[in-house]
């Protein structure tokens, strides 16, 4: 239903210009990091976004939050187009949208204590001060599994998992409704990854959060997501319910990705077919004509080389951008 949709993206594109010259710069090409993307995210759900490195996942997440202003397209948050908003009007909206960064060390100011890091969004967006602010910081640290006595520590005095918990506490500080999780576990040890995933799931249930969860690990995405979007070279090639995607993927690229996910059953693992894609990923500066995937596609036909496939709904809730789906 339309009133269940929190985020809706329409024809979103982000092109980065390539220039030459020092004094008088001249545009000679552009990198099409995100190219005509369409999808939506319902309230309270987690949409997993997967794809190879360099396909535009992080750029897409930052365009959603207007951390990067997109080249064209529309981003609707609670029915309001963020792309047409002036920066001063965006300030009030930013309270309801936050991001958890990939590297928990680089995303935290090394000169600020844990308490100052968590307090910063509260100081910017609210009038909470003094004792109430200190109590709020302690509460947030407890929520993410950190001891309130750690408020005077600096980021280098925390472990990787603790730093990511601190980043989550900062994101939760002003009670957002939408959080972009930009590969929040990829820089952590495997044993810590499960703890962070479980924490994010618990917080979603407790605070009614909506996530865009960006990741490489398809097993993790299957565990945490309600629906999954697959991205290739700046375009969404398939969107489906989690179980439907992993059971009956329709796009050749999605099928190839899933064939690389190990199955913890040696008999099943030995009997299934592994799909090895030929060639290299084309450059986003010089995309191939027609379907971006056709130079590597194992089932491509002539039309794939000429016409760009549109993202169409082939079954209820299952969208695919493939001429042969």
Does a structural domain hold residue 89? yes
Q: Which two tokens stand for residue 117?
A: 């890091």
- Of 154, 174, 194, the position where a domain reaches its end is 174
Residue 191 CA to residue 36 CA, distance in Å, equals 38
Residues 143 and 42 occupy one common structural domain = no
Average pLDDT over residues 86-112: 88
Secondary structure in 3-state letters for 293-314: CCCCCCCCCHHHHCCCCCCEEE
- Is the whole-model pTM more than 0.85? yes
Residue-range definition of the domain harbouring residue 208: 2-19+29-96+176-270+311-320
Helix (H, G, I), strand (E, B) or coil at 262: coil
- Per-residue pLDDT tens digits for 40-80: 999 999 999 999 888 999 999 999 999 999 999 999 999 99
DSSP 275: P
Q: Is 160 in the same domain as 57?
A: no
How do residues 6-25 score in pLDDT, each as one tens digit?
999 999 999 999 988 877 88
Same domain? 184 vs 89: yes
DSSP string, 10-61: EEEEEEEEEEE-SSS-EEEEEEEEEEEEEEEEETT-EEEEE--TTSSHHHHH
Mark whether 126 and 239 lie in a shared domain: no
> Is 229 part of any domain?
yes
Task: Report the alpha-carbon angle 236-240-241, nearest 5.
Answer: 145
Per-residue model confidence (pLDDT) at position 265: 63
* Three-state helix/strand/coil letters over 204-220: HHHHCCEEEEEECCHHH
Q: How many domains does the chain have?
A: 2
Would you call 274 helix, strand, or coil by DSSP? coil
Neighbours of 258 (CB within 10 A): 18
Q: Is residue 222 part of a domain?
A: yes
């Amino acid at each position: 239903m339309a009133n269940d949709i929190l985020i809706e993206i329409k024809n979103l594109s982000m092109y980065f210009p390539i220039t030459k010259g020092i004094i008088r710069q001249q545009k000679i090409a552009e990198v099409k990091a995100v190219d005509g993307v369409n999808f939506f995210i319902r309230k309270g759900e987690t949409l997993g976004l997967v794809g190879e490195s360099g396909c535009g996942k992080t750029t897409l997440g930052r365009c959603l939050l207007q951390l990067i202003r997109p080249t064209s397209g529309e981003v609707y948050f609670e029915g309001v187009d963020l792309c047409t908003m002036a920066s001063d009007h965006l300030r009030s909206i930013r309270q309801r949208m936050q991001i958890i960064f990939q590297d928990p060390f680089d995303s935290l100011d090394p000169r600020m204590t844990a308490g100052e890091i968590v307090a910063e969004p509260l100081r910017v967006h609210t009038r909470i001060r003094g004792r109430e602010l200190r109590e709020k910081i302690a509460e947030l640290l407890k929520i993410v599994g950190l001891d309130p006595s750690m408020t005077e520590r600096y980021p280098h005095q925390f472990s990787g998992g603790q730093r990511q918990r601190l980043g989550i506490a900062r994101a939760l500080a002003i009670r957002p409704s939408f959080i972009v999780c930009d590969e929040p576990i990829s820089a952590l040890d495997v044993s810590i990854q499960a703890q962070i995933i479980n924490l994010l799931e618990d917080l979603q249930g407790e605070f009614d959060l909506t996530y865009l969860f960006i990741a490489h690990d398809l097993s993790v995405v299957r565990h945490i997501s309600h629906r999954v979007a697959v991205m290739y070279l700046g375009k969404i090639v398939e969107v489906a319910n989690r179980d439907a995607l992993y059971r009956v993927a329709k796009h050749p690229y999605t099928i190839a990705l899933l064939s690389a996910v190990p199955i913890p059953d040696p008999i099943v693992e030995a009997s299934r077919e592994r799909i090895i894609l030929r060639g290299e990923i084309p450059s986003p500066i010089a995309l191939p004509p027609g379907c971006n995937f056709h130079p590597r596609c194992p089932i491509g036909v002539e039309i794939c080389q000429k016409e760009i496939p549109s993202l169409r709904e082939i079954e209820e809730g299952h969208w695919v951008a493939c001429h042969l789906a």
